[in-house]
Structure 1
C-alpha cells in the first residue's frame, strides 16, 4: 500500500510520516519511507537521537541512471532522453518489488531509526534559478510507476508542503493520502485545496488532526473538515523532546492508538491497479502535450503500451 502525508508547512507531516513509518516497521511489516519534501528532514525525524548523516545516494542526481535501469528493453523507450518522469511502464520495462534484490534498491536505500529510507535530495545552490524541485521528484514518480508492491507492504512518502503536491501527477500514485491539519484556519486551508483536486481524480484522502490540545481544538477540526477527519494526535511531549534530539520513554498512548487507526484505514483500501495505471497514462499524455513532446522531439503518446497489464501479473 502506498501512503502520502501532505499538509501545510509546519503542520507536522514529516513528524507523522516518521511516526507512522516507525510504527509499521516495529510491527514487522515491510516498509519503505521516502523523503519527497524540498526540506529533507525525514531521516532526522526517523532517528532523532542519531547525529550521523544519512549517506545513501539521493535519487534526484541519479535520475538518468534510474531511467536507464527502469526502461529495460522496452522498445517504446529507446533512450533515457526519451523517457520523462511520467513515462508509464510497458512490456520490457523493469518492474520492482518492494525492497527487492535489484540495483536501484541496493544503491539508494539506507536506514534511519531502523526504517529503510530513500531520499530525493536537497534543492541545492546549483538548482537556484534554473531548476524546479519537482524535477527531482520525477525519480519518485518513476519509482512508484514501476513498483509492484503486494498486500501488507507499505511505502510512506513525505510530500512537499501545501498545494505544491499538485505540480505533478505524483499525487495520484497513492492508495490513501493523509492530510495533516492543525486546528487553525491556516491549518485547514490546504485541506480545502487538496479535497477539491483529489475529488476530481478520485484520490482518497483522510484528515489527521495534529497538535490538538483541548476539546475546542477537536471541535474546530470537526466543524471544518467534517467526516474527512479520521483521527487526531494530541500535543506530544515525546515529539517535542525528540525534536530536540532527546527522546524519552514512549509516544503517548493516545497517539499510538491514532497510528493504529491510520494503519487500519490504509489496510481497508485495497489496491486498484487499473485506476493507478489509468491515472499514470492520463498524466503522461497531459505532460506530453504540454511540454514533453517538444522537449524530446517525439510523440510520447507512443510510449503508452495498450497491451500492458498493470499489477502482479506483469511480473511474469
Structure 2
C-alpha cells in the first residue's frame, strides 16, 4: 500500500511519518520510505546522523537511470529523453515491486536499520544552491512520481512518502497515487487550513484522506479539531518524551514509545489496511493517464518535441499480478 504524509510546514508530518515507518517495521512488513519534501529530514528522523543523511543518493540526480530502466522495451516510448514525470507504463515497461532488487533501488535506496527491522530509504535530494533560479523542486519530485506510476505493491507491503509541505503536492498528479493520505494538522486555524485545501482539491479524485491531530494538549484542542475536520479526524497525538529524545539523537527502544501514541499508530495501520479492499486499479490507471495527457498538453509536448499522448497504451491497466517485462 502507498501512504502519503502531508501537512503544513512544521506540523510534524516528518516526525509522524517516521513513527509510522518504525511501527510498520516492528510488524515485519516490508517498507520503502521516501523523503519527497524539499526539506530533507526523514533520514534524521529515522536515526541517521548528519553525514549519513547527506550521503543518501538523490533520486532527482538519477532520473536518466530511472527513466531508462522503467521504459524497458515499451514501443510507445521512443527514448528515455521523451519520458516525463507523468509517463504511464504500458506493454513492455518495467514495473517496480516493493520486495525485489533492481537497478533503481540499487542506485537510489539505502537500508536503514531500525530496532524493529530494516527499511529501504529513498530521497529526492535537497534543493541545492545550483538549483536556485534555474530549477523547480517538482522536477526532483518527478522521479518519485515516475516510480509510483510503475509500482505494483501488494497487501502487507508499504511505500510511505513524506510529501512536500502545504498544497504543493497538487502541482502534479502525485496526490492521486496513494491508497491513504494522512494529513497532519495542529489544533490551530493555520493547522487546518491545509486540510481544507487538500479536501477541496482531492474531492473529485477519490483520495482517501484522514487527519492526524498533532500537538494536541487537551480537550479544547480535541474539540477544535473535531469541529473543523469532522469525521476525517482519525487519531490525535500529544506530547512524547520518546519523540523529544529522538529529536536529540538519542531515541530509546521503540517499544518504549508511550502507549497512547502506539495505539494511534495501530489505528493508522488499521485505516491504511482497510483501503486495500477498495483498490480500483482501473481508476488508478485512468487518473495516471488523465494527468499525463494534461501535462503533455501543458508543457511536455513543447519540451520534448513529441506528442506524448502517444505514450498512452489504451489497453494497459496496472494490476497487482501484471508480469514485469524482461
TM bin (shorter chain): over 0.9
| SS of equivalent residue, structure 2 residue 62 | helix
Flag the 1:300–1:11 CA change in 2: closer, same or farther, 3 A: same
Where does residue 285 of structure 1 map in the other structure?
293
| SS of equivalent residue, structure 2 residue 168 | helix
1:52-73 C-alpha deviation (Å, 9 max, x unpaired): 5133421100101110110011
Aligned pairs for 1:79-228 (under 5 A) are: 79-112=79-112, 113=114, 114-228=118-232
* Shift of residue 312, structure 1, vs aligned partner: 2.4
1:83-114 C-alpha deviation (Å, 9 max, x unpaired): 11100000010111114121111221112343
Flag the 1:39–1:51 CA change in 2: closer, same or farther, 3 A: closer
Where does residue 57 of structure 1 map in the other structure?
57
CA distance in 2, matches of 1:106, 1:149: 18
| Residues 1:45 and 2:42 are matched in the alignment | no
User: Contact (CA 8 Å) 2:12, 2:184: kept in 1 or not?
Assistant: yes
Q: Which range moves more in the overlay, 22-31 or 94-103?
A: 94-103
| Residues 1:276 and 2:312 are matched in the alignment | no
Where does residue 24 of structure 1 map in the other structure?
24
Match of 1:235 among 205, 214, 239: 239
User: Contact (CA 8 Å) 2:6, 2:182: kept in 1 or not?
Assistant: yes
CA distance in 2, matches of 1:56, 1:227: 39
Q: Which range moves more in the overlay, 94-103 or 295-304?
A: 94-103
1:120-167 C-alpha deviation (Å, 9 max, x unpaired): 101001110011100001110010111111111000000000011111
User: Contact (CA 8 Å) 2:65, 2:104: kept in 1 or not?
Assistant: no
* Shift of residue 247, structure 1, vs aligned partner: 2.2
CA distance in 1, matches of 2:223, 2:214: 13
CA distance in 2, matches of 1:257, 1:275: 33
What's the TM-score, normalizing by structure 1? 0.97
User: Contact (CA 8 Å) 1:56, 1:107: kept in 2 or not?
Assistant: no
CA distance in 2, matches of 1:29, 1:52: 28
CA distance in 1, matches of 2:265, 2:320: 28
Aligned residues: 315
CA distance in 2, matches of 1:267, 1:313: 19
CA distance in 1, matches of 2:205, 2:237: 28
Where does residue 36 of structure 1 map in the other structure?
36
What's the TM-score, normalizing by structure 2? 0.94
1:19-63 C-alpha deviation (Å, 9 max, x unpaired): 000100111001110000000000000116x45513342110010
CA distance in 1, matches of 2:103, 2:249: 33
**4+ residue segments displaced more than 6 Å:** none
* Shift of residue 116, structure 1, vs aligned partner: 1.4
| Residues 1:305 and 2:300 are matched in the alignment | no
Match of 1:255 among 251, 254, 261: 261
CA distance in 2, matches of 1:105, 1:65: 11
CA distance in 2, matches of 1:248, 1:213: 23
CA distance in 2, matches of 1:120, 1:262: 25
User: Contact (CA 8 Å) 1:208, 1:232: kept in 2 or not?
Assistant: yes
Gaps of 5+ in 2: none
User: Contact (CA 8 Å) 1:308, 1:314: kept in 2 or not?
Assistant: no
User: Contact (CA 8 Å) 2:58, 2:124: kept in 1 or not?
Assistant: yes
